[in-house]
Amino acid sequence: MDDRINVTRSSMPSLDEYVEEIRGLWDSHWLTNAGKKHEELRGLLREYLGVEHLELFTNGHMAIELSLTGLGLDKGEVITSPFTFVSTTHAIVRSGLTPVFCDIDPHDYTICPQSIEPLITDKTVAILPIHVYGNVCHIEEIQDIADRHGLKVIYDAAHAFGETYKGQGIGSFGDVSIFSFHATKVYNTIEGGAACYHDPCLDTKLAQIRDFGIVDEEKTAYIGPNAKMHEFSAAMGICNLRHVDQEISKRAKVSERYRERLEGKKGILLNTIQKDVKTNHAYFPVIFQEEAFGASRDEVFNALKEHNIGARKYFYPLNTTLDCYRDRYDANETPIALNISRQVLTLPIYADLSLKDVDRICDVILETAGA
């Protein structure tokens, strides 16, 4: 019997529900290019997320990259965090922009507002903050800085689907907010992503850019890729959206059990519970302070692995230490991010993870340090 616990597990509807959702495709033969399912999902997501404008993409990465293009940002510097999945940094670089890395808040791991302003130069065109693990950025402070300096704000909200801040959908902040609907996320369309924005002019522009830049049969105005979401992914998204609130509720129970078992243990720091944020329990990050806990992050990781339990060093290595960036940046310039990347481990969390398995995970962790 395979008793492996993976770090995550994709949420899926019943097979019958999905088959019923895609049945009509065999009649229409319309499989891509903004078909019926695509447009239905687009409308449902606008309502669920509380946003006025939204476009779908083949993945979250292309949503970031093409939103930068749509905003007319093709040169200059973008202030961002190195404590993120590499896609965020790649999207900036691939758009012809230069990332400028800012350190993070040691409590919620999002970009530190007090560290942003000293990095602004006459080349700065935007700030690209990341809602990390579902922890929401310091929105008011970031927007104040952007307004005073005339900068665009593009949020990477890949971890924050379904969240609200002060009762407002998280996708409604900044000039653009980006979601990922990858299979590992709280909500998935198998692969997919979306950009939420305020400027209605982006409706047509983003749709055209993601379709090779084609305007009509005879005109191509932009240099764009093929970044369209197809009907099968949209159908999966329609199904999963029906169940996402229930999935988040189940994740909450997993998070609560972890806190019951690990909170207050010497050398263990758990994720911040933020005021005014309705969280989605996307991840459960734990910081292991080796000297106080009695074991390093890597020792805990290896112990879990020996017990057939998957955990993830997320985010490690830090983006500025990756082979493709280390010669351009000094990771020591963001010491908090560097330190957290060496101590953090995200534990398994998904809707169907049993509390018995959570206890099994916690037992291994505590036994590693003899706690």
pLDDT digits (tens, 9 = 90+) for 120-146: 999 999 999 999 999 999 999 999 999
**Residue found under tokens 């000293």:** 118
- Answer whether 15-238 and 245-368 agree in fold: no
Residue 1's pLDDT is 43
Q: How far apart are CA 287 and CA 360, in angstroms?
A: 19
Residue 370's pLDDT is 78
The domain 245-368: what is its CATH number? 3.90.1150.10
The CA–CA distances, whole Å, from 129 to 14, 87, 175, 259 equal 36, 13, 12, 27
Residue 109's pLDDT is 98
**Residue found under tokens 């499989």:** 31
Residue 3's pLDDT is 86
What is the DSSP annotation of 165-186? ETTEEGGGSSSEEEEE--TTSS
Residue 371's pLDDT is 60
Q: How far apart are CA 364 and CA 67, in angstroms?
A: 43
Q: How far apart are CA 198 and CA 124, in angstroms?
A: 22
Query: Using N-to-C axis directions, what is the helix angle for 60-70 and 86-94, rounded to 10°?
Result: 30
Show the low-confidence residues of the chain (pLDDT under 50).
1
Q: At a CB cut-off of 8 Å and minimum separation 6, what does 209 contact?
A: 66, 69, 70, 222, 224, 227
- Enumerate the domain spans of the chain: 15-238, 245-368
The CA–CA distances, whole Å, from 95 to 50, 82, 124 equal 28, 17, 14
Q: How far apart are CA 140 and CA 357, in angstroms?
A: 39
Spelled out in words, what is the top-level CATH class assigned to the domain 15-238?
alpha beta
